[in-house]
A and B are shown apart, each in its own frame.
Chain A
Amino acid sequence: MTLAPDTDAQRGDAGRPVTPGSWLGWVSTTDHKRIGLLTIGTSLVLLLVDGVFALLMRAQLAQPEETFLAAHLYNQLFTMHGSGMIYTVMTPFAIGLGVYLVPLQIGAPGIALPRLTLLGYWLYVLGALTMLAGFATPTGAHADGWFSYPPMADSVHSPGTGPDLWIVGVSLAVTGSILMGWAVLWTVLRRRTRGMTMLRLPVFCWSMIATCLMVIGSFPALLAAMVLLGVGRADPDVFASNVWNIGYQHIFWFYGHPVVYVMFFPYLAAVAEVLAVFSGRRFFGYRGTALSLLVFAALSMSVWGHHMFATGQAANDYYSLTSIALLVPAGVEYFGMLGTILGGRLRLRVPMLFALAFVPQFLIGGLTGIMVGTPVIDYHVTDSYFVVAHLHYVLFAGSAFGLFAAVHYWFPKVTGTLLDERMGRLHFWLLVVGTNLTFLPMFALGYLGMPRRVVTYATFDGFGLLNLLASIGAAFLAAGMTVFVVNVLWTLRRRHLGRAEPAGDDPWEGHTLEWATTSPPPRLNFPADRPLPPVTSFAPLLDRRTGGGTA
């Protein structure tokens, strides 16, 4: 047990010392920054793996009647791509960002429940590996899509151990996310430093509160769905009754919709922080945005049935009403972001480029979400490529751009070194072109009737040109991601060799407390020679520079 920051007294029986950076130090660390980095690093590696799956799928779909991939392998790839991206990439990255940043932003030396957080990380890693291990089984990996509806996913229609490994892996990974979510929420509610009242929390911390409330509220439902699926695979008679088939859908989507918001609130808040810092002004509409995040999160718990419109087994009027009501808090958040940019002195550095691109691209994802939240439109486009385009505009054109804004923005805090600006810009433009070239044609494909998850299509379907454009776009995305990987590895290598120029503690003139400490921050975050500045508002460092505070 360590007391901080007043004393560094440590118990004598606390164990043998290890050198910093040793593998033992990393695997058993209780430093929230290390656990956060492990989580973020693991999810970035898995992003590349799942991205390769997507490239293989786009190669298969580039031409009509293509035979590059066998049907069963294609099914495995889209299942592992979708479930991997959701359960093991975007969700853990979002929560891992909270694990790293929240204690720093609230002026705490550590996270609450660090051992539980570490357990969460390891369960997540082992869960991800277990899911992927399905590829090594004789029948291959799971192949029924990320929501794996019964009876198709039962042991009669999907035999083999791949689906069983997937169930175990998903259960472990989501348990890990739940544990990390609990720790982050408790930290932000109960570990704030002096002066850091709730209404002085940075926007990112508010997003983590909303995110973790959804994690606590909705993620256990996925565990229940996995138990039901596992029981049904042991005894397929369970799914002979439609009660449990539809029941599974209710339980699954009770998790499956809020998780979409878990996968974008932290990125939206990262974008909000970047927009404020690179506009040189305080975030506009702070209180409205904090409130809208909470309302947005509560509403998100009520819209799950819009994924079931076409079943005829859900209260469509209610789910349509609540889905459309999401426009109100979303509008408040957009108002805040636009109000921050307008009149600001914009600095178009790489984090800002990603943040600016997030705004219109995510809008397309959000507005098409309202379209599919309307039953009359959903009946026409359900299970088509329109839905694929919508969710990728939300999760890639939106959240992933927020993710890269966050990586470029906080990289100098984490490493003490800036990523290369030229490679960053190349990465950005390749992603902008690739994203829109890949996913925009999918709206048209879906509207014209191309179903999702088909391994191929006939020439006379007329889907060839649009699919070819989407596949060319995917090649741009692959090039962009390659540039990103090279940029990160090259920068870290230069840092290791001592050739990288130090970024300084606050290279962007940040607003929040993490920029008040050294880069990278020490074990207990705020060393004795760098006392915390007084917390006068949600932007204390801006207050210190300008000599004012508002809250």
Chain B
Amino acid sequence: MRRHLPAVLVAGWGVLNGLLLVVLAIYRENTMTYWLWGGVVLVLQLFALAVLVSSRARPDQHVRYRVPDRGAGGVLPGAVGLLLVGLCLVYGRWLLVVAVPLLMLSVALVVRGTTAREK
């Protein structure tokens, strides 16, 4: 139980949200709110499941860590690419001409794993 406390915590918090949602239903609210909040409860339970799977696979507390640090050079081009995709909605799809190559470059950098490393 203690080992799975993180998963129980997330699931329990989701259940508490579910209880509050049930009480709201007694007072009758816009149907949209049930879908909205119910969806959140579902997401929380899925997250709790992911934590549970992770805690079954690895120890709850660590002494050895994997610190991933490769491919971070692709992050900034990726973020700019996503910005340009968003701006397509304002200024037109022609921005995809720039956005798509940037996103491809970002993916390539992440996959190739090249990044700056501090001395």
Contact = CB atoms under 8 A, between A and B. Distances in A.
Main secondary structure of the interface of B (DSSP, over half): helix
Interface residues of B, number: 63
Given A17-B119, A172-B82, A254-B36, A299 B113 contact: no
A479 interface: no
B7 to A, nearest CB: 8
Contact of B37 (A110, A123, A254, A313): A254
A17 B6 contact: no
Contact of A194 (B10, B62, B114): B62
A298 B20 contact: yes
B96 interface: no
Nearest to A110: B67
B27 A126 contact: no
Contacts of A6: 63-64
Nearest to B50: A186
A393 to B, nearest CB: 26
B116 A15 contact: yes
A322 B20 contact: yes
A527 B35 CA distance: 49
Interface stretch (A21-29, A281-289, A505-513): A21-29
Nearest to B64: A6
A200 B16 CA distance: 23
A118 B106 CA distance: 13
A1 B30 contact: no
Contact of A318 (B27, B83, B113): B27
A499 interface: no
Contacts of B67: 1-4, 30, 109-110, 114, 524
A421 B63 CA distance: 39
Interface in A227-250: 230, 246-247, 250
A523 B118 contact: yes
A321 B91 CA distance: 46
Given A6-B64, A109-B65, A305-B29, A213 B10 contact: yes
Contacts of B51: 186, 189-190
A315 B24 CA distance: 8
Interface in B78-112: 78-80, 82-83, 86-87, 89-91, 110
A376 to B, nearest CB: 18
Nearest to A13: B113
Nearest to A214: B13
A1 B61 CA distance: 20
Contacts of A22: 116
A168 B87 contact: yes
Contacts of B37: 254, 301
A318 B24 contact: yes
A119 B77 CA distance: 10
Contact of A18 (B30, B36, B44, B118): B118
B36 A250 contact: yes
Contacts of B40: 217-218, 220-221, 301
Contacts of B6: 189-190, 198
A164 interface: yes
A115 B72 contact: yes
Nearest to A10: B117
A339 interface: no
26 contacts: A3-B65, A6-B63, A14-B113, A15-B115, A17-B116, A28-B73, A30-B67, A108-B62, A115-B110, A118-B75, A119-B78, A122-B80, A126-B79, A168-B89, A190-B6, A190-B58, A194-B61, A198-B6, A198-B9, A213-B10, A213-B44, A217-B40, A251-B36, A294-B13, A297-B13, A302-B17
Given A190-B54, A230-B89, 13 more contacts: A1-B68, A4-B64, A11-B70, A19-B118, A25-B118, A28-B72, A115-B110, A168-B90, A189-B51, A190-B58, A195-B61, A197-B2, A250-B32
For the complex of A and B, the 7 pairs showing the least CB-CB separation, nearest first, are A122-B79, A189-B6, A318-B27, A315-B27, A168-B86, A30-B69, A110-B67
